[in-house]
Amino acid sequence: MANQSILFSSIKYVVHVPSLQIQKMLDPQVFKKEVSFIFHPYSMSFIEASLQEAEIIKLLEEGVPLNKIKELYGADSLRVINEVEEIIKDLYPKEIIKFNKPTVLWLLTSPFCNLRCRYCYTASGSAFWSSSRILNIDELVKAVEKILDAFPTIKHIAFFGGGEPLLRLDIIKVITEKFENNIEIFSITTNGTLINNDIIEFIENYKNKFILTLSIDGPRIVNDINRIYPDGRGTFNDIVKGIELLKEHGLMFDIQATYTREAFMLGYSMSDIAYFLSRFSPYIMLRPSDYVATLGAGERFEDAMLGFMLADYVDKSIMEMLKRDPTYYDLVIAMNIAQIGRRVIKLQACPYTSFITLNADGRIYTCHMLTDFVIGNILKTSKKDIKEKYEKALKILDIYTQKLDPRLFWMLTMQDICPAELYGGLSYVSKGGNKKLGLRPYIRSVLENYWDALLVKIFSSARNGDLDRLYENVGKMLMARRQGREGLSRLVNAY
Q: Assign residue 171 the CATH number of its domain.
A: 3.20.20.70
pLDDT value of residue 130: 56
| Domain match, 72 and 147 both | no
Q: What is the Cα 201 distance to its own chain's centre?
A: 31
Helix orientation angle between 467-482 and 331-342, rounded to the nearest 10 degrees: 120
| Identity of the amino acid at 307 | G
Same domain, 353 and 367: yes
- Rounded-to-integer distance, Cα 347 and Cα 410, Å: 11
Indicate the helix (H) or strand (E) that contains 377.
strand 376-377
Distance, in Å, from the CA atom of 50 to the CA atom of 35, rounded to the nearest integer, reads: 5
Quick one: 86 and 110 in the same domain? no
**Rounded distance, CA 123 to CA 112, Å?**
10
Phi, psi of 195 (to 5 degrees): -65, 125
User: For every one of its 495 residues, what pLDDT tens digit does the chain have, with 9 covering 90 and above?
Assistant: 445 789 999 999 999 999 999 999 998 888 788 899 999 999 999 999 999 999 999 999 999 999 999 999 998 999 999 999 999 999 999 999 999 999 999 999 888 899 998 888 665 445 455 556 789 999 999 999 999 999 999 999 999 876 899 999 999 999 999 999 999 999 999 999 999 999 999 999 998 899 999 999 999 999 999 999 999 999 999 999 999 999 999 999 999 999 988 999 999 999 999 999 999 999 999 998 875 544 454 455 666 788 899 999 999 999 999 999 999 999 999 999 999 999 999 999 999 999 999 999 999 999 999 999 999 999 999 999 999 999 999 999 999 999 999 999 999 999 999 999 899 899 989 887 778 998 988 889 999 999 999 999 999 999 999 999 999 999 999 988 876 454 333 333 433
Q: Are residues 74 and 115 in the same domain?
A: no
What's the residue count for the chain?
A: 495
Number of Cβ within a 10 Å radius of residue 472: 11
Q: Are residues 156 and 215 in the same domain?
A: yes
Whole-number Å distance between alpha carbons of 85 and 340: 21
DSSP letter for 484, please.
T
The reported pLDDT for the residue numbered 291 is 53
> Do 118 and 59 sit in the same domain of this protein?
no
d(CA 151, CA 354): 11
Cα 284 to Cα 281: distance, rounded to the nearest angstrom = 7
- Longest CA–CA span in the chain (Å) reads 74
306 and 443, same domain (yes or no):
yes
Strands 185-190 and 210-215, sheet pairing:
parallel
Same domain for 246 and 285, yes or no, is: yes
What is the pLDDT, as a whole number, of residue 110? 83
Question: Of the candidates 96, 104, 100, 93, which has an alpha carbon nearest to the alpha carbon of residue 491?
Answer: 104
Q: Which of 62, 92, 122 is the last residue of a domain?
A: 92
- The string over 170-187, giving b where at least 16 C-beta atoms fall within 10 Å of a residue's C-beta and e elsewhere, is ebbbbbbeebeeebbbbb
The per-residue pLDDT for 305 is: 81
- List the one residue out of 331, 353, 333, 330 whose CA is nearest residue 97: 353
Number of structural domains in the chain: 2
Cα-based distances in Å from 275 to 186, 271, 323, 326, 458? 28, 6, 14, 11, 22
Looking at the structure, tell me whether residues 354 and 400 fall in a common domain.
yes
Separation CA 172–CA 156 (nearest Å): 13
Spatial CA neighbour of 493 closest among 281, 185, 186: 185
For residue 78, report the phi and psi dihedrals to the nearest 5 degrees: -65, -35
DSSP, collapsed to helix, strand or coil, labels residue 84 as helix
Phi/psi-derived region of residue 253, left when phi > 0, alpha when psi is between -120 and 50, beta in every other case: beta
Name the pTM for this structure. Answer: 0.92
From 92, 126, 143, the end of a domain falls on 92
Same domain? 80 vs 110: no
Nearest to 103 by CA among 37, 59, 158: 158
Question: Rounded to an integer, what distance in angstroms lies between the CA atom of residue 14 and that of residue 422?
Answer: 22
If asked whether residues 66 and 104 sit together in one domain, one would say no
* Helix 197-205 / helix 236-248 crossing angle, nearest 10 deg: 40
Dump the DSSP string for 379-415. TTS-HHHHHHHHHHHHHHHHHHHHTB-TTTTGGGGTS
Q: What is the pLDDT of residue 282?
A: 96
Query: How far are the Cα atoms of 76, 254, 332, 419, 448 from residue 320, in angstroms, in the given order?
Result: 41, 18, 14, 33, 22
Q: Which of 52, 67, 92 is the last residue of a domain?
A: 92
Q: Report whether 258 contacts 312 (CB < 8 A).
A: no
* Nearest C-alpha neighbor of 135 from the set 147, 150, 124, 120: 147
Residues 85 and 111 in one domain: no
Q: Which residues pair with 106 in a beta bridge?
A: 158, 357
**3-state SS assignment for residue 35:** strand
**Helix orientation angle between 306-321 and 441-463, rounded to the nearest 10 degrees:** 20
Residue 261 CA neighbour count, 13 Å, CB half? 10
Q: Which domain holds residue 475?
A: 97-495
Q: How far is CA 19 from CA 219, 351, 375, 440, in A?
A: 33, 27, 42, 18
